[in-house]
Amino acid sequence: MAQERVSHSSLIGSSPAEVRAAIRQGTYDGHTAGLAAGYLQCNLAILPERYALDFLRFCQRNPKPCPVVGVGDTGDPQMRTLGQDIDIRTDVPKYRVFRDGALSEEVTDISDVWADDLVTVALGCSFTFENALMRNGIPVRHIESGRNVPMFRSNIELVPAGPFSGKMVVTMRPIPEKQVWQTRTICARYPQAHGAPIASGDPAEIGITDLSEPDWGDAVEINAGEMPLYWACGVTPQNVLLDAGLPLCITHSPGHMLIADVAEDAETPILEQT
Cα 97 → chain centroid: 16
Exposure letters 192-226 (e unless 16+ CB within 10 A, then b)? bbbbbbbbbeebeebebeebeebebbeebebeeeb
Average pLDDT over residues 223-249: 93
- Asked if pLDDT for residue 134 goes beyond 70, the answer is yes
Q: What pLDDT, on a 0 to 100 scale, did the predictor assign at position 264?
A: 72
% of residues, the chain, pLDDT over 70: 96
Q: What is the mean pLDDT of residues 4-31?
A: 94
Residue 269: pLDDT band (50, 70, 90) is very low
Please say if the pLDDT value at position 234 is more than 90: no
Q: What is the reported pLDDT for 268?
A: 39
The closest alpha carbon to 169, from 129, 126, 120, belongs to: 126
Residue 68 banded pLDDT, cuts 50, 70, 90: very high
Query: Minimal CA–CA distance to 107: which of 164, 29, 25, 33?
Result: 29
Q: Is the pLDDT of residue 267 over 90?
A: no
**Percent of the residues in the chain that have a pLDDT greater than 90, as a whole number:** 76
Mean pLDDT of 9-37: 92
- Residue 37: band (very low, low, confident or very high) from pLDDT cuts 50, 70, 90: confident
Q: Mean pLDDT in the chain? A: 91
Going along the chain from its start, the domains and CATH numbers come out as: 9-126+237-263 (3.40.1640.10), 135-232 (3.30.2040.10)
Q: Is the pTM of this model over 0.75?
A: yes
For residue 95, the model assigns a pLDDT of 97
Is the per-residue pLDDT at 58 higher than 60? yes
